[in-house]
Amino acid sequence: MFKTTLLAGLLACTTLLPAYAADASQAEDFVETQAQGVITVLQDMRAGEREMAEVKADFRDRINELADVDRITNFVLGRYRRGAEPATLEEFQTVFREFAINVYESELTNYSGQTLDVTGSVTRDENDWVVRSQVSGGPDGDVYEVNWRVQERDGTLKVLDAQVAGVWLAQTQREQITSVIGNAGGNIQAAIDTLCGRIQDQDADDYARVCEG
C-alpha cells in the first residue's frame, strides 16, 4: 500500500514538471547566437550592400526571434493596461512595437560589425536570468558591456530587457510612458501620440506606415 501510494505520488509530481526547462547555459547560448545575429544584420544595414527594405525586414525578424516585444509592450504600459479599451490597446501595441524595434536599432547600431561574447549570467529566479556579454572589435578598440534579461516561458527563451551603457531600455521606456499617461490623466492616446512623434524623428517612412496608415 505504501509503495503504491509513493509511486502514485511520484507519477503525479512528474506530470507537474514542465515539458521543457531551460538552464543558465541555454540562456547564455541563446543570447550569444541571437544577439550576434542582430549585430550582424546591423552591419549589413550600415554597409549598404543590400536593399534597405530587405535589411530592415531581416532586422525585424531577428528582433522578434530575440525579444518578446508583446510582453515588453504590456510591461511598459504598467497599470494603465488594465481597463484600456481594446482598440486603444491594439493601437498602442502596434505603435510601441515599431518604436521598440527602432530603439534596438538605434542603441545597438554602434556595435555593428563587432563580436559579442557572453561572459556569464546571474540566475534571478527559476527560468529567469541576466546574461552578461561584452561587445568588442570596433575601430576604437573599446569593450562594451551589454546585459540581457532572459526568461523562459512555454519552452521558449526570449529577452525582456537589455542594458546598454548602463541603462535598462524597457524599464526606462516604462518610466517615460507611464509618466506621459499619468500627466494626461490616464489617457493612453497621449503616449501613442508621443511615440508617433519619436517614430517620425527616427524614420519618416515608418511613421507614415504605422501612425498614418
* Tens-place pLDDT, residues 3-31: 443 334 433 333 343 444 579 999 999 99
Per residue in 130-186, pLDDT (tens digit) is 999 999 988 788 899 999 999 999 899 999 999 998 999 999 999 999 999 999 999
With a cut of 60, say whether residue 61 has pLDDT above it: yes
8 vs 14: CA distance, rounded Å:
10
Percent of the chain with pLDDT over 90: 62
Cα distances (angstroms) measured from residue 67 to each of 14, 52, 80, 101: 30, 22, 22, 10
Residue 78 pLDDT level (bands cut at 50, 70, 90)? very high
With a cut of 80, say whether residue 100 has pLDDT above it: yes
Q: 10 with 141: CB under 8 angstroms?
A: no
- What ranges in 48-168 are assigned the alpha helix state H? 52-66, 69-77, 86-108
Per residue in 101-133, pLDDT (tens digit) is 888 888 888 888 889 999 999 999 999 999 999
The pLDDT of residue 118: 97
Residue 213 pLDDT level (bands cut at 50, 70, 90)? low
Angle of helix 204-211 relative to helix 188-202, nearest 10 degrees, comes to: 150
The pLDDT of residue 73: 92
Q: Which CATH superfamily is domain 35-211 in?
A: Tgt2/MlaC (3.10.450.710)
